[in-house]
A and B are shown apart, each in its own frame.
Chain A
Amino acid sequence: MAITLHWVIALGILVQIAMGLAMAHLSIPIHLKFQLYQLHKSIGITVLFAVALRVLWRLTHRPPALPEAMPVLERRAAAGTHFLLYFFMLAMPLTGWALVSVSPYNIPTVLYGLIPWPDLPILSTLSDKHAADAVMTFIHSWLAYILIGVFALHAAAALRHHFWLRDDTLRRMFWRLPRRP
């Protein structure tokens, strides 16, 4: 369960980052851009649900122990990075939801074109939405840039464990891969 959620969320984050960068920086035909925004919202809320489930799981289950050989400093770095990742996993969809709610366009969110999704209260009825929109856009995009860095750090550490330290840290994230002897 924890492993599946990990990869579902990881894939979600990658797709959202790629989509977000494309939406913000590429000149895409306007109808495609509109659809991209709708899909970004749908996936974002889906990830939010997966994260909520994961946080519940994490709070009720003890995670596997870190490799015994890990120095204290690295343990702290890993714990810090994991904490940051949890923070971003929640902060990205929540700030995105807030951003949608303060949008002066007042476009209703319909997940995957099927499921109506509400705006956040208060934010959706602000009198001057343009200022709030600018603030939320700034926060959401800068959090995204920082998340790219934290995400890369986490992936790099996993690869270091696998290829350099040659321990089971990455292998045990793949369900039934045999452990290294």
Chain B
Amino acid sequence: MKSALAFLALATIAAGPAMAAGWTMQPAKSSLGFSGVQTGTPFTGQFTQWSAQISYDPANPAAASVKITINTASAKTGDSQRDTAMPDGDWFDSAAFPQAVFQSTGFTPQGGDKFVTNGTLTIRGVTQKLALPFTLDVSGNQAVAKGQITLLRTAYGVGQGDWSTGDWVALNAGVNFTLTATK
């Protein structure tokens, strides 16, 4: 018991410096949205289940790292037909690929509150390089990152078979996020 407590104390001390750069995502103040165009009509949706692991020290942005894990079956647009189709094999194929992952290291300052982080995005098991621009506002113990990017859905195989053309659903899809984290 004693040795266990001592180990815990040691572990806590050892973890100290790393913890300083660690941030905890605040789900209630975060959102991950997407947008698309179906038969010429725009729609928007949200991933209701996702999480982020963030390591960021303002003094050393080059050492920052982010891992965002998205439950692909949690995509909701409010249209039950579309929401039923999205997890199916033609789209996210959530049964085979339950998660999409964005992983990056290093925040490159772009002036002001602007940054870019270079990493990879994996959807449907297809991994592509992605440079993600975002803004970052840190005040006290809270940091808010916001960004948006346009993805070519077919680069990740989202939209198989007859959906791999833009006839019914546009090939470009927008992704936007607000990620709030506290230290």
Contacts and interface: CB of A to CB of B under 8 A. Distances in A.
The answer to whether A and B come from one shared complex is yes
Contact of A31 (B41, B161, B167): B41
A1 interface: no
A163 interface: no
A109 B81 CA distance: 7
B178 to A, nearest CB: 30
A106 B80 CA distance: 14
Contacts of A34: 38-39, 168
Interface stretch (B20-28, B61-69, B83-91): B83-91
Interface string B28-50: 00000000001111000000000
Interface in A1-36: 29-31, 33-34
Interface residues of B, number: 17
A116 B168 contact: no
B55 to A, nearest CB: 41
A34 B41 CA distance: 11
A34 B43 CA distance: 15
Contacts of A108: 81, 84-85, 88
A113 B168 contact: no
Contact of A116 (B38, B84, B161): B84
Contacts of B84: 108, 110, 116
B168 A38 contact: no
Contacts of B163: 105
Contacts of A31: 38-41
Nearest to B89: A106
A114 interface: yes
A113 B162 contact: no
Interface of B: 38-41, 79-81, 84-85, 88-90, 161-163, 167-168
28 contacts: A29-B40, A30-B167, A30-B168, A31-B38, A31-B39, A31-B41, A33-B39, A34-B38, A34-B39, A38-B81, A104-B161, A104-B162, A105-B162, A106-B85, A106-B88, A106-B89, A107-B81, A108-B81, A108-B84, A108-B85, A109-B81, A110-B81, A110-B84, A113-B79, A113-B80, A113-B81, A116-B80, A116-B84
Given A104-B162, A106-B88, A113-B79, 18 more contacts: A30-B40, A30-B168, A31-B38, A31-B40, A33-B39, A34-B168, A104-B161, A105-B163, A106-B89, A106-B90, A106-B161, A107-B81, A107-B85, A108-B84, A108-B88, A109-B81, A110-B81, A114-B80
